[in-house]
Amino acid sequence: MAKLILDISMSLDGFIAGPNQTLENPLGEGGERLHEWVLPLKAWREPHGLEGGETGPDSDLVEEGLQSIGATIMGRRMYSGGEGPWAEDPNADGWWGDDPPFHHSVFVLTHQARERVAKEGGTTFTFVTDGIESALEQARAAAGDKDVAVAGGANVVQQYLGAGLLDELSIHVAPLLLGGGGVRLFDNLDAGAVELEGTRVIESPAVTHLAYRVVK
């Protein structure tokens, strides 16, 4: 069965976004620094429709991660880019543009039903109103023989983790202390709810890649 993977950049102090997220700056203040390591990489630029880029271990790791994923799950705010226009118009478009970088089926957890959206390049957004297990089931069916990624936000990750549904964590620890009250990846978890086993460490000058298997 397809595994459910979390693949995300986190600061050393545990944040995946800075404070004061807005539609213009969905990563919050300073949050873009979490992703500085990935932006120059060939494996990141390609699905974003950009040519060139750096090759090497970081790029290989990103490419390997992307190629293993056949469907993605995300929260509603990650789809719409913060509260944004959705608060007024439930049919407003998300902020991913005409050719989103996923190129596969994306399942958006929301309380408000709406029609499936098909974008260029193979990305579709399907809106799931009946909970995280239903979204996972649909994503697994769409992923074929590949795995499923949970993209965020933190609240969605915490729901899957707390429910024991996440299989693997791939955490890219950026050498940053973001501080200042951003969004913590690991929060609201019961003590001892999750057991991990370290599976891989890859070091690069810009970031440290830590991989874990969820044991329970």
Neighbours of 193 (CB within 10 A): 11
CB 114, CB 134: distance < 8 Å:
no
Contact between 165 and its own copies by CB under 8 A: the answer reads: no
Main-chain phi, psi angles of 133, to 5 degrees? -70, -40
From 3, 114, 146, 184, residue interacting with its own copies (rule: CB under 8 A): 184
Q: Does 178 bind its own copies (CB under 8 A)?
A: yes
H/E segment holding residue 155:
helix 154-162
Q: Is 191 in the site for its own copies (CB under 8 A)?
A: yes
CB-nearer residue toward its own copies: 95 or 186: 186
- Counting contacts by CB under 8 A, is residue 19 touching its own copies? yes
Q: Which is nearer to its own copies, 39 or 201 (CB)?
A: 201
Q: Which region among 73-81, 83-91, 141-149, 184-192 touches its own copies (by CB under 8 A)?
A: 184-192
Q: Give the integer Cα–Cα distance in Å for 209 and 103.
A: 24
Q: Which of 161, 170, 172, 183 binds its own copies (CB under 8 A)?
A: 161
Question: Which tokens go with 183?
Answer: 């969004």
**Min CB(47)–its own copies separation in Å:** 27
Residue 177: CB minimum distance to its own copies, A: 4
- Return the closest-CA partner of residue 52 out of 60, 63, 62, 41: 41
The CA-atom distances, in angstroms, between 49 and each of 42, 88, 176 are 10, 31, 28
Residues in the site for its own copies, rule: CB under 8 A?
Answer: 12-14, 18-19, 29-30, 161, 169, 171, 173, 175-182, 184-187, 189-198, 201, 203, 205, 208, 210, 212
